[in-house]
Amino acid sequence: MDESLRQFEDIPGVVWVPPPEEFITVDRDACTGCGDCVRVCLASVFRLREGKAEVARLERCMECAACFFVCEPGAVDFQWPKFGTGYRSEWG
């Protein structure tokens, strides 16, 4: 495993709740493969495969929406997940 990836155990006080449904998708036709979503995501949710971005680990998403705003071609579709959040912390 990539040593640069954050592990759940490295973030004490945070519990990730499995997403109730898919809430981030990538339009592969619109994606230019620039990698901005990969770089901006602190949770390492995205990866590049065959020159396109894809959602690899949605369960780690912290719902910051940075991937949505950083994607200039508008290839990332982000919807706030229904029925709760993807993670919760002890500090609110």
Q: Which residues bind ligand SF4 (CB under 6 A)?
A: 24, 26, 31-37, 40-41, 43, 45, 53, 61-67, 70-71, 73, 75-76
Cβ 21 to ligand SF4, closest distance in Å?
Answer: 14
Cβ 67 to ligand SF4, closest distance in Å?
Answer: 3
Cβ 1 to ligand SF4, closest distance in Å?
Answer: 18
CA 53, CA 84: separation in Å to the nearest integer?
Answer: 26
Cβ proximity to ligand SF4: between 24 and 92 the closer is 24
Phi-psi region of 13 (alpha: psi -120 to 50; beta: other; left: phi over 0): left
CA 56, CA 48: separation in Å to the nearest integer?
Answer: 9
CA 71, CA 75: separation in Å to the nearest integer?
Answer: 6
Cβ proximity to ligand SF4: between 15 and 64 the closer is 64
Cβ proximity to ligand SF4: between 39 and 90 the closer is 39
SS3 77: strand
